[in-house]
């Protein structure tokens, strides 16, 4: 699906440059991918690079087509990207906010098809009742779901989501991951999600990519292949027990940090 080849990127600062990637190579699978890694591993930066928001050296490929060489219009048609973001003030309703996600497909007026897609998406996220509410009146979790709906209504081939479960309660986290899984299965869409919750990743991801604190590739594979006590110690600096439920899904129980405090 997505292949990252020899990626180099540094953030320029007044006192020099902060190197994030130095020859990074990663292959994502078709379906539901999750990127795991500690703070500072470059997970969010990698999504930005894939979406074309950064000037980097290297090549990022989707199938047989170079995303790096794509023009902006083709890249936007191919994928949707939801960064970590907070918008507190807006005069738009929830319905209007989500319709904006259809902007590349909208004609001179909003069609019945556009409205149907928007309402179906709101229904799938269990927020259809909020359609007429002003966006500014919503809670942080509700706003997050509106942004996710705005991303999904585009009907892209590839969806990039950076910490989409932040500020969502446990029920909504599970429902969102179940919805993403359904989109992968029913619509054939590929998804790459950055998560901090290892247990959530283990339950829903088909393919996990682990990055270490240096912005380097550590491992990739099925959850039961990559979520191990050794990975948790070497990547996260945590001593943890890893057991499996009746379906073979790994479950992490942290014990302590490897650092003395």
Q: For residue range 9-52, what is the model confidence (pLDDT) as tens digits?
A: 998 876 777 899 999 999 999 999 999 999 999 999 999 999 99
The total number of structural domains that make up the chain: 1
For residue 195, which of 43, 2, 69, 16 has the smallest C-alpha distance?
Answer: 43
Its domain, for residue 161, covers: 2-257
What CATH number is given to the structural domain containing 131? 3.40.50.300
Helix %, strand %, coil % of the chain (to 5): 35, 30, 35
- State the Cα–Cα distance between residues 197 and 256, nearest whole angstrom: 17
For residue 55, which of 20, 102, 94 has the smallest C-alpha distance?
Answer: 20
In angstroms, the Cα distances linking 14 to 17, 18, 20, 57, 61 are 8, 10, 16, 21, 32
Number of H helices, E strands in the chain: 9, 12
Of 20-34, 80-94, 214-228, 242-256, the one with minimum mean pLDDT is 80-94
Find tokens 């990519």 and name the residue: 209
Q: Per-residue pLDDT tens for 230-246?
A: 999 999 999 999 999 99
How large is the angle between the packed helices 140-152 and 112-124, nearest 10 degrees? 130
What pLDDT was estimated at residue 155?
80
Residue 186's pLDDT band (cuts 50, 70, 90): confident
């Amino acid at each position: 699906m997505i292949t990252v080849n020899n990626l180099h990127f540094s953030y320029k600062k007044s006192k020099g440059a902060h190197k994030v990637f130095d020859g990074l190579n990663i292959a994502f699978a078709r379906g539901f991918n999750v990127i795991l890694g500690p703070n500072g591993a470059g997970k969010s930066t990698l999504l930005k690079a894939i979406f074309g928001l950064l000037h980097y050296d290297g090549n990022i490929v989707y199938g047989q087509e170079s995303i790096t060489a794509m023009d902006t219009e083709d890249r936007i048609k191919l994928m949707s990207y939801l960064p970590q973001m907070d918008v507190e003030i807006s005069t738009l309703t929830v319905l209007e906010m989500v319709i904006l996600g259809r902007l590349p497909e909208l004609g001179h007026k909003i069609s019945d098809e556009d409205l149907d897609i928007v309402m179906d998406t709101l229904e799938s996220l269990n927020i259809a009742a909020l359609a007429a509410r002003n966006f500014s009146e919503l809670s942080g979790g509700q706003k997050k779901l509106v942004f996710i709906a705005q991303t999904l209504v585009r009907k892209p081939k590839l969806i990039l989501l950076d910490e989409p479960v932040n500020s969502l309660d446990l029920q909504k986290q599970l429902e969102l991951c179940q919805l993403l899984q359904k989109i992968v299965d029913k619509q054939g869409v590929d998804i790459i999600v950055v998560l901090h919750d290892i247990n959530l990743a283990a339950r829903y991801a088909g393919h996990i990519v682990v990055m270490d604190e240096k912005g380097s590739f550590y491992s990739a594979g099925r959850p039961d292949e990559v979520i191990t006590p050794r990975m948790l110690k070497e990547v996260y600096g945590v001593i943890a027990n890893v057991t499996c439920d009746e379906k073979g899904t790994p479950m992490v129980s942290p014990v302590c940090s490897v650092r003395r405090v």
